[in-house]
Structures are given as structure tokens and as C-alpha cells.
Structure 1
Amino acid sequence: MTHRPMFTALRRRAAKAAALVGAAAMAAGLAACGAGSGTAGASGSDGGLRKVTFMLSWAPDTNHIGVYVAKHQGWFRDAGLDVDIVAVAQAGAEQAVNTGVADFALSNLTNVGIYDLKGAHLKEVLQVQRKSSAIWCALASNTAIHSPKDLDGKTFATFGSNESDAVVRRMIQHDGGKGEFDKVTVGTSTFRTLQSGKADFGGFYATWEGVQAEMYGPKLTCFTEPDYGVPGNADSIGIITADKTIEQDPDLVRAFTQATQRGYEYAYAHPDQAADMLVEEAPDANLKQDFVRRSMQVIVDGQYWGDPKAIADGSETLGAIDYDGVQQYFDFLAESNAYTDASGATVRQAPQARDLATDEFLKR
């Protein structure tokens, strides 16, 4: 499978986030990378529908599925929107949203916090993922690794993120190790880096690469963050937009957010049907139906988006922001000196989740 790893893509962009440049220059660069050419939020010619651009944060996958379902089912059109789903720009989805090249994108609150420290003005308006799906794995054939303490002295396949370093160090130390490891920077495939012998372990997502390893190999030995002392939710994946969009056009934000929320709700209640919609709506991704169905089933069984029964009976809202869980993770990163500002200086004050997210646009 040629899917670009989700976990490493997020961490890589977070690690390499640089000081924001002028909006005009960034907009030009992003346009060259294939972002939508229309003005964000402008009226379209398709029956008066408003043109909206949603930017992927990596290749299409089950984390994006709510947007694809909403488009497939016509729920964006019902809300008066003509949504164009576009590939991620080279500078990243967060930059595209911050400069107005895209109206909305998939990201997570960890990235929003990192970009905020560098001058961006973003908010998450829907948080689909309620608990971390990050897994830290070695090849099962590497019999020297049985638990995180065995990662001491080994080589980590990394994209250079302070965040991932802090997480791995905490897991090793929690398991009784020193938290010392070597690092090698990889390209787009952590699997290939491990198989080449250049590294001993790396980061993946249980809901995607974990499924890939289960179905197609290579087999992995994996460890999860909450089991080894990493607090809160590192993977607060959801929908982001710009503060400016919220201020200038709250009705647009509400319409898009609620149609997308409906898409995720449908996917959680009907995982197989939603998987098939994703495969149909993203043909260029060459997704395998059985793989996508299995990914959705792992999400449902693991309750990664919340308690399905509670969501079905209305006692829990899919998409609500988990402020406390996210803040715990933010505080951990600050304590680990993982934050830097636009000049590269360490920032010891953690971002505040309540300043970076709002669930006022969700349907309750």
C-alpha cells in the first residue's frame, strides 16, 4: 500500500512548522501546489451554492471519512455548499487555512497549538478523535524489543519532531529505561526504514498502519502512549478553520461543521457503508474496500470517536472538543520543553486548548 503514513505526516509538519510568511507569498506558493483556485467562501455558479474548499492533511483515509460521506450523501449541497476536497499543499493544510487558501482542513489540536505559537490564528471546530490511536512499534521479527524500556539505545525512525521525542522518552522512562535513543530521519515510509535495518522502531496509527500491518504485514510489536505514562489525547484529530472565517462568516462555519458532523455520525453508525463511500469518492487513492472497512471497524471497536451507544442515544455529542484531555497533553509537551516559537526559542508556557477550539458550531 502506498498510503502516506498519517502519524508521521502530522508529526513531520508540526516539527518543521516555520515562522509564518506574508499571506500573499504563501497564497501564491500554495496555489502552485494545487489548492483551490476559487475565492474561499465565494458564491458559485452551481445553483447558487457557496464554493468551499476543504484541504486534506495527507492521503484520503478514514480520518477524513466524515467529509467524504457528507459530500456523497448530498448533505453539503443541502446546506447550500459546493465543497471541493483538495490535496494537501506542500506547506501544509494549517498554513493553507491560516492564509485563506482553504476554508477548512483536517488537522489536530496539537498542530493548532504549535502553529499558534508561531503566529497562526486557527481554531478546531470539530474534534472527531477522542483518544490517542498512536502506536510505537518495532518489527515483530526484532526479538530484542518486548516493551518500551527495550527501546533504550535503539534507533528511532523519526521526522525530527520534538513532540515525538518527548513521547518516546516518557514511555521508555515510565517502563524503567533511561529514555536514551538514537535517531534517523526517514522519508514517507517508516515501514521501509524499519525493514531496511536503518532504524529499530517508529510511530504509526493503530487505525491505519496498524490495520495495514495486520492485513498485509509486516507484523509489528507495538506500545500505546496511555499505557506508558503519556497523559491526555495526543491525537485530537478534527476540522479546523481560521479565526477570521469564524469572525466574518459564522453561518458558513456552522453549515460546514454540522454537515461534516452528520457525515462522521453516519460513518460511526454505518462503518461498512461509509467505507464504501470513501473508496468511491476518492478513486485516485486506490483504496482497497476490505482494508477501509477494517479500518472503520477498528475505529468503532476501539471507540476512538467516543461511545457509539452514547452518541446514538444523544447523551454524547460526536465532535465535541475534549478540552481537558487535550490540555493534559499540551501541559506534558510544555514540561518536556517540546514547544518553540517562530524564532526557535523554547516556549515553556503550554498553549490553552480553550483558546484554540470551539464546539459552538456543532449540532447538539
Structure 2
Amino acid sequence: MSTSQFSRRNLLAGAGLSVGAFALGSTLLTACSEPGRGPAGKGGGDGTPLALQLGWLINSGQFGEAIALSKGWYDDAGISFSINPGGPSIDGIALVAAGESQIGQISSSPSHMLARSQGIPVKAFAVCVQDHPYAWLSTPENPVEKPEDLVGKTVGGPATSDILVKALLAANKISEDDVEFVATGSSVAPLMQGKIDAWGTWLNSISQRRPLGDDFVSMRLADNGVPLYGYIYYSTDDVLEKKADLVKEFTSATARGWEFAYDHVEEAAKATVEMAPESKLKDIQDDGEDMMKYVFTKSTAEKGWGTMDASIWESQIKLWDQLGQFNSAPPTVDDLATWDILDATADSRPKLG
């Protein structure tokens, strides 16, 4: 299905797709108010325009882009680059599919899988967060250390995390009837007040869990049978076919940005805040420092920043299909991802981890 078959009106009003409901990035940064729809970062020069549509707000997930912009590396690559922030009322995938931005980034892979399964022609070409940091936090007085510890207990978090509870239970063969989920939002207060037994958040969201201190117990989805990808870069089938060279240049420049950010978190945080002045530098820097261990892993040490593993995509497809999340036939790995861009940029993507 070509991009030209989708109009903006059809995608936003008629697709019936609530991609944003699965974004899972709302817990990552609440210090920012929602910015306007205008570009947050803009490269100079007369390069080829390339806009990155985010699924959520600008945060530490844009360290690589912030550095590449500030250093002029997109300009050097012949790209006039800009970032379009997302937000709770913005369906980023639909906007990319409608051609308003050439590429996009979504915070967690379920959104991408659901979009493709509904016929929206988007495909991942790189992954930023290899080892997903989403976890359930609990207190030492009432620890939840393994999925079985959830039986008979109440789990809270953003409404979008309900499906993550179900995925965790399904992966560990625990009945949904044995665990109660309550939509408590992105605040840790209900956990601290004893109203819930475990609370869902991204572990690198230091600013959100700061009231809890360092004395807490965490149980990550990725360690318990739910291997999601985070901050996926994607584009349409049409762009990946007709503008592959542009996407390759973007990927190389962004990888260079992330390589620099790896050893210069403070500078990356400052560059990010310049793009999103509503955010707090300490929150961005703290979140970013913790995030590095999820971006750079054994996989990136071997295959470079942005790598993807077909078996991880396959396991996600199977689990979401088991949960009945696809209204039609589940997508295949080839539907969801292409390795052409990664292969073409293998020499320019840093092998760190």
C-alpha cells in the first residue's frame, strides 16, 4: 500500500487507530508542557528538508539529534533538519504516513506493530533504545520481585500500561483475574501512599520516581518475557524506497550524535533543552545519564548503534497476537522492519556498549 493512498484527513479522522494510546512515553517526561506544532530544531543551509515527527515530547531520547544539530552535522550531510514534537493529542504515525514528516520516532514498539497491522505503510529502520527500561516499581516493605509476586495485588500506572500488565501476565502464564490494574496516572504517589502494590514507569524517568528515593524494588518487562523496543525510528515504505539516501545520511549523522552524547551527557542535555526550553535541565540530564545503558548494550557493542534483531520483533508479534491486539492478520517481521539502512550505515554507527 503506497503512501499516496492515505490522505491526512483519512488517517487522522477515519483510520480508527489510536496509536498514541500505546506510546508509553508519557511517563518519560512530565516536566515539559506540550509545545506547539512548529519545528523545535532547525538546521541551517540549503540542504534537503527532513522532518522528524516525535510520538511524544522532546526529551533525552533526542540526545543524538540535539548534538548533531548543534554541531552542524546534519548540515554537513546536506540535510535541513527539523523536529516536530508530539503530544497527547497528536498521532505521530498518522502524520508521517500522510507525508507531513519524512521520518518518525515512536517511544515503544507496540504502537508500530498495531499501525502496520491496520494497513498503515510504516516500517522501522533503526532502534535507539535496545533494552527497554519499562518496569514495575514497589517498596522494600512490599516487594514485587517477580511476576508471581503480583498475584493478589494491585498494579497502577498510566492507563496505557494496562496492556503491559496483560503482556507480563501472559508471558508468565498468570491469569489476568489474579491481578487488579488501576489507572493511577504517571505519579508515584499512590505507591508511596500504599494504595497500589506496584507502579509502572520507565526506569530512566528519574524525575518521576525521584520522590521514591533510591530504596525501591524494580521488575522490568524485558527481564520477564516482554522484550519491547524503545524509540523506534520509522518511515513509510515510499520514503524508504525513493529517499533511501536521505534516510541513510540522517542515520549516520544521528549515530554520530549519539556517539558524542555517550561521553558528553551534560552537553547533550543542554543542547536538548535549547530545543525544548520548557524542560528542566537537571531532569533531562539525570534521565539521559541513566538512559545510556539502555541505548548502548551488548547488541550495539557488536552491531552498532540503532541495530535491530529479527527474533525480538518476532517475539513481540507473537505475544501481541496472543493478547488479541491485532484486528486482522498479525504483521510479519518484514512488514515491520527493514535492515537496508542499517546495512548501508554499518561503518558510521558506533559500536559501544
Q: Same fold (TM over 0.5)?
A: yes
For 1:174-189, what aligned pairs fall within 5 Å after superposition?
A: 180-187=178-185, 189=186
Where does the alignment leave 5 or more consecutive residues of structure 2 unmatched? Answer: 15-34, 347-353
Change (3 A) 1:34 1:271: closer
Q: 1:357 aligns with which of 311, 314, 337?
A: 337
Percent pairwise identity: 22
Q: 1:144 to 1:306 in 2, by over 3 A?
A: closer
Specify whether residues 101 and 28 from structure 1 end up closer, same or farther in structure 2 by C-alpha distance, changes over 3 A only.
Answer: farther
Q: Over residues 90-145 of structure 1, what are the superposed CA-to-partner deviations in whole Å (9 max), with x where a residue is unaligned?
A: 2321121111122222114332111111221111111122222111123x276365
- Measure, in 1, the Cα distance between the counterparts of 2:267 and 2:257: 12
Distance of 1:321 and 1:145 partners within structure 2: 30
Aligned with residue 219 of structure 2, among 217, 223, 229: 223
> How many Å separate the matches in 2 of 1:178 and 1:80?
52
Distance (Å, rounded) in 2 between the aligned partners of 1:340 and 1:178? 19
2:15 maps to 1:24: no
Cα drift, residue 263 of structure 1: 1.4
User: How far does the alpha carbon of each residue in 1:260-293 deviate from its partner, in whole angstroms, 9 at most, with x for none?
Assistant: 22212222243343233223333222231xx444
Out of 76, 79, 93, which is 2:77 matched to? 79
Q: CA deviation at 1:190?
A: 3.9
- Counterpart of 1:256, as a letter, is F
CA distance in 2, matches of 1:235, 1:202: 20
Residue equivalent to 1:93: 92
The answer as to whether partners of 1:170 and 1:179 remain within 8 angstroms in 2 is no
Structure 1: unaligned runs, 5 residues or longer: 1-19, 38-43, 342-346
1:137 maps to what in 2?
A: 137
> Contact 2:269 / 2:281 at 8 angstroms: preserved in 1?
no
C-alpha separation in 2, matches of 1:171 and 1:327: 14
> In the alignment, is the contact (CA less than 8 A) between 1:152 and 1:180 conserved in 2?
yes
Please state if 1:200 is matched with 2:197: yes
Matched residue type, 1:91: I
CA distance in 2, matches of 1:252, 1:143: 51
TM-score (norm 2): 0.75
Which residue number corresponds to residue 123 of structure 1?
123
Equivalent positions of 1:61-72 (< 5 A) are 61-72=59-70
Amino acid paired to 1:200: D
TM-score under structure 1 normalisation?
0.73
Which of 309, 318, 321 pairs up with 1:331? Answer: 318
Higher mean Cα deviation, 198-207 or 239-248? 198-207
Distance (whole Å) between structure 1 residues aligned to residue 190 and residue 94 of structure 2: 29
> 1:23/1:281 Cα in 2 relative to 1: closer, same or farther (>3 Å)?
closer
1:53 corresponds, among 37, 47, 51, to 51
Give the SS at the match of 1:137.
strand
Distance 1:201 1:171 in 2: 18
* Cα offset, 1:26, TM superposition: 4.8
SS class of match (1:340): coil
- Provide the residue aligned with 2:32 in structure 1: none
Aligned residues: 314
Q: Structure 1: which 4+ aligned runs deviate by more than 6 Å?
A: none
The 3 A distance-change label for structure 1 pair 149 and 264 is: same
What secondary structure does 1:227 align onto? coil
d(CA) in 1 for partners of 2:100 and 2:13?
Answer: 9
